[in-house]
Amino acid sequence: MELPVKTSISRALLILAAASLSAVQAQAQEPVAGRDYIEIPNGRPLEPADGQVVVEEFFNYICPGCNAFEPIFVQWAATLPPHAKLVHVPATFRPDFVPYARGYYAAQAHGLVEKTHAEVYKAIHQTRELPSEADRMDPKRMEERIAAFYANYGVDEAEFLSTMRGFSVELKLKRATDHLQRSKVPSTPSLVINGRYLVRGNTYADTLRIASWLIEKEHSS
């Protein structure tokens, strides 16, 4: 049965309007430079990876925002494509951030990051086994407390403390701090894509949406 001309035109207009709305919505969702992300002049990753887009998470264990972001970030990171590589970068905005950054790099040297990363957050923000930013102490004493914590995961406490204070960790800490400043990261948690884009977002979900888009942008460039 043929439809009246007016009905056919009305349907065509509705289809056109729906298509236009979808296009507008898609365009609105596409991240915008300067608003959703900032381009970093002459930016480069801390640890470049051939053929992969480097996703850097700037964090510190005593940061409450990082603690809240962690479970959401872990779920998202598990869905990263093969052409993306995740790198954690401990931030050192304040002196009391430094012992935990040392602890992270020492754990990395001993192959303990995967086993302990979430547990350090838990020990600071839930069980209070480790000192938080509201419970500051002498940096050397903090390092000793941190080494004692990692000793629960099969590493010798004195050896771990020696690693924390050793040349290799000192060098990594300096490189990470220089990279933090060069990338103009304002706070934690923050994401930087391939050293070139500092992600901004209104919510954690929005931040991850923008990051996903930037990963594909870099991969296709």
The pLDDT of residue 22: 39
pTM of the model: 0.85
CATH of the domain at 108: 3.40.30.10
Report if residue 86 sits inside a domain: yes
The pLDDT of residue 134: 55
Tokens of 68: 């809240």
Contact 57, 47 (CB under 8 A): no
> What is the tens place of the pLDDT at every residue in 149-174?
999 999 999 999 999 999 999 999 99
How many domains does the chain divide into?
Answer: 1
Read off the pLDDT band of 96 (50, 70, 90): confident
The pLDDT of residue 98: 94
The pLDDT of residue 26: 39
- The length of the chain, given as a count of residues: 221
Report if residue 174 sits inside a domain: yes
Residues 170-197, mean pLDDT to the nearest whole number: 97
Mean pLDDT computed over every residue of the chain: 89
Residues 1-6, mean pLDDT to the nearest whole number: 49
Report if residue 113 sits inside a domain: yes
The amino acid at 164 = M
Read off the pLDDT band of 24 (50, 70, 90): very low
Could you tell me the strand order of the sheet in which 37-39 lies?
37-39, 197-199, 190-193, 53-59, 84-90
Structural domain boundaries, residue 81: 37-220
The pLDDT of residue 221: 83
Tokens of 82: 């093969």
Report if residue 5 sits inside a domain: no
Report if residue 1 sits inside a domain: no
